[in-house]
Structure 1
Amino acid sequence: MNLRSSWVAETGQTREDTRLTQTGVTTLTNPVQVRSGVLPGSYDGLYRLSGFWTFGSAAMTATVSEGRAVIQGEISQGVYPVTLPTSEAVTFAPGDALYGRIDLLVVKIYDNLYDSSNRNEAKIEIIQGVPGQTPQAPAVPPRSLPLYEVTVPAGASAGNGGIPWASSLKDLRTPVVALGGILPVEGPVLPGAYPGQYQDSGGALQRWDGGAWVSYPSALGGIIPNSASTTPASYTGQYRDTVGGQLQRWNGTAWVPVVTGPYYADNTDYGDTTSTTYTPTLAARATNPIALTFVAPPSKSVLVTFGARMKSANTHYGFMALKLTQGATVVNDLNDEYAAIVASDTTVSVSAMRRLSGLTAGQSYTFTAYFKIAPNTTSIKAGFDNTFIRVDPQF
């Protein structure tokens, strides 16, 4: 019979029965098996994963700190819980004379029922790699939990400085937690086992939705707070609050401001013209022309306001108008009907406003200011000061 039980039969309960029916299961990978890994925690609560932490304690010797772990065997073998109650020292073999090698530090289960080793015990062991110009770590043996890769340089020995521990240890430990617990992610990010499982990625709480880990704010449909503004987006239309206080939306490829603009350009220099046709250049002004580039919003509409302090003559009209272009293409040409106009020999503040629609969302456009005076038979000048252009996207 395939169904296993614990503490039911009066006799005959096997070690395999006990392992297969443990109810204190850890992080699942499927309905029967769990993930091999180390239980998290530290003495002072400062670190996510302290169990089996390893450090160099002598030239060729490392010390493995105390910890608890589980090691999953094949599906019919169950899971092996292990505990190292006190730290343990392990010594590495001297390096090859010519080439470096990579050794593997593991917790290994010996079970005579499956490996014919005549041993039934758990051991911390070093699986020695093969020296080479580009050495590779050895394969992980069955029923083993990899802890660290250790690079052993060519010629390393106790007599010549040994292993440079600061650069030779590669941490392979991954955490596991009890069923339903929130997993602190260390090392590779593995798929979830069931929708509704949670993990802490270090920057955000995430939920497994059946196909991907979804950051907690998006699972709620809420706005990612600025404290987690580096969290990757999960879907188009997600919002986040940046550290600078700007609300942004994920458009599928990038975070973009939810509210763009307003866009503004001005020139406080006085300038004038005697031209009877529109010109972007004013005499006596250091900088010409005055122009403003903006990005069309999703509504494809903007409100543009422009104006200046203007003067001409009581019988002559000064005009300020805008031309809208997209690159070299004129989208909306100059038109007296939409110009700001004055006929006065004293300075008057004048502005105009209009709405433009039908733009292409996401494309850049440019407004450029043009000026003229009409009619002009006596070389009267139209003067312009404090000219400005403002564009407000419409939503």
Structure 2
Amino acid sequence: MTVRSAWLLGTGQTREDTRLAPLGVMAPAGEMTSRDGVIAGGAPFSASGVSAMQVQIGVGRAVVQGTVAQGAYPVAITAPEVVTIADGHAQFGRVDSIVLRVADPGYDTSPAPAVRVEVVQGEPTATPAAPTLTGAALRLWDVTVPAGISAGTGGITWSSALADRRRFTSAAGGIIPRGYGLAFAGSYDGQYRDTGAGLERWSAKAGAWQPYPADSGWQPLTLSSGYGWPNHGTPAAWRRIGPLIMLRGRIGPTKAGSTIPNGATILTLPVEARPAGGREFAWASPRDQISRGPSICRVEIQPGGAVRTYEFWELPQWISLDGVTYTAD
């Protein structure tokens, strides 16, 4: 037997079945249900065409959730399985689904307990869609079946007909791997998932997935009256990623030919962009080229968030915030 499930058979479950099937507490979907899906590792349940109308599903492990009363079934395929796609409808195309199916006569009309890979046929229509699944079933792949297709007409073009529908799951507390679709809610506050581009954390308060670490994106800085962008470099902005604060941009007087006075407050940082613990933070900032001395001046962030410049030698016409980085926690 190459398609196995633990805790399905009334009798006859082997120790090998128990070792191969994924066991343990999986990521929850509710108080008494688990998030069903594929267990990541290698290329579980890969699909490849092996003949005109047959496709092979590779080995892998998964969890298939039944009703709340049923619970979740751990499943393993230990050798590749081949399934056959029925010939196409004479007039319309359709979309079939390849699924992992758990049959349990204690909860459905199956004659005997079994677990298998099966094809669920879609409805042939002018605008075909994947079939709705019922019972304890996990969708792995969708197959587009053109009208009139058969082995005699050349069969299915597998490279374009197969659509990956594998979604992934993990152990409780684990990061949900990236799989098919991101339009699902988290199950508890602080749950994590991989989007393929980074991590997201579920916020129960916001009812949404949020980037982790939290990323504000670049936000414009509100400058003090009389100051603005000197039309070179980039406008002044801040960004917070987790506890890390970054600044960028150039600032100068809005009046042509003016300079920044010694000790001038050129802006006040928003609370979320201020250094940790209200501490002062200072650095040597690049400035306009001058005729004598280094082309830098002192810039400070004071405890209340005021940003001030200090230059006793020759007053700057503009300063740069590029590359300034500090922590807020």
Considering the TM-score relative to the shorter chain, is it more than 0.5? yes
Q: Which has the larger radius of gyration?
A: 1
2:69 to 69, 76, 85: 76
Distance 1:150 1:393, change over 3 A: same
**Paired positions, count:** 233
Residue 153 to residue 61, structure 1, CA distance change in 2 (3 Å): same
Which whole-Å deviations, capped at 9, do the CAs of 1:160-202 have from their partners, x for residues lacking one? 2101111111111100111111111212222111112222222
1-side partners of 2:150 and 2:141: how far apart?
A: 20
1:146 maps to: 139
Q: Which runs of no fewer than 5 residues in structure 1 stay unpaired?
A: 1-11, 16-21, 43-49, 219-232, 240-247, 252-258, 265-293, 307-350, 356-389
Structure 1: how far apart are the matches of 2:253 and 2:236? 11
Question: In the alignment, is residue 90 of structure 1 matched against residue 83 of structure 2?
Answer: yes
Q: Aligned pair 1:37/2:20, yes or no?
A: no
Equivalent residue letter for 2:29: T
Per-residue deviation at 1:394?
Answer: 11
Q: Give the TM-score of the pair, scaled to structure 2.
A: 0.62
Helix, strand or coil: the match of 1:184?
A: coil
Would the aligned equivalents of 1:104 and 1:126 in 2 still touch at CA under 8 Å?
A: yes
1:188 to 2:158 alignment: no
Q: Contact (CA 8 Å) 2:64, 2:138: kept in 1 or not?
A: yes
Tell me the distance in 1 between the aligned counterparts of 2:236 and 2:113: 72
1:208 lines up with 2:212 in the alignment: no
CA distance in 2, matches of 1:184, 1:305: 54
Q: Which residue of 1 aligns with 2:57?
A: 64
Q: Is the 8 A contact 2:144 2:162 kept in 1?
A: yes
Q: Is the 8 A contact 2:190 2:202 kept in 1?
A: yes
Percent identity of paired positions between Structure 1 and Structure 2: 37
Change (3 A) 1:99 1:35: same
- Provide the aligned C-alpha RMSD in A: 3.6
Q: Is residue 230–residue 252 contact of structure 2 (8 Å, CA) maintained in 1?
A: no
Residues 302 and 52 (structure 1), Cα distance of their counterparts in 2 relative to 1, 3 Å cut:
same
The aligned counterpart of 1:379 is none
Q: Distance in 2 between matches of 1:148 and 1:297?
A: 46
Q: Alpha-carbon deviation of 1:203?
A: 1.6
Q: Are the aligned partners of 2:259 and 2:317 in contact in 1 as well (CA < 8 Å)?
A: no
- Note if contact 2:228-2:254 (Cα within 8 Å) is conserved in structure 1: no
Alpha-carbon distance between aligned partners in 2 of 1:23 and 1:59, rounded to the nearest angstrom: 37
Aligned amino acid, residue 36 of structure 2:
S
Partner in structure 2 of residue 262 of structure 1: 230
CA gap of 1:302–1:131, structure 2 versus 1, over 3 A, is same
Question: Aligned ranges for residues 103-252 of structure 1 at < 5 Å?
Answer: 103-189=96-182, 190-210=184-204, 211-218=207-214, 238-239=216-217, 248-249=218-219
Cα separation, 2, equivalents of 1:250 and 1:110: 58
Structure 2: 5+ residue stretches without partners: 1-9, 14-21, 222-226, 239-250, 262-315, 322-329
Mapped contact 2:229–2:236 kept (Cα < 8 A): no
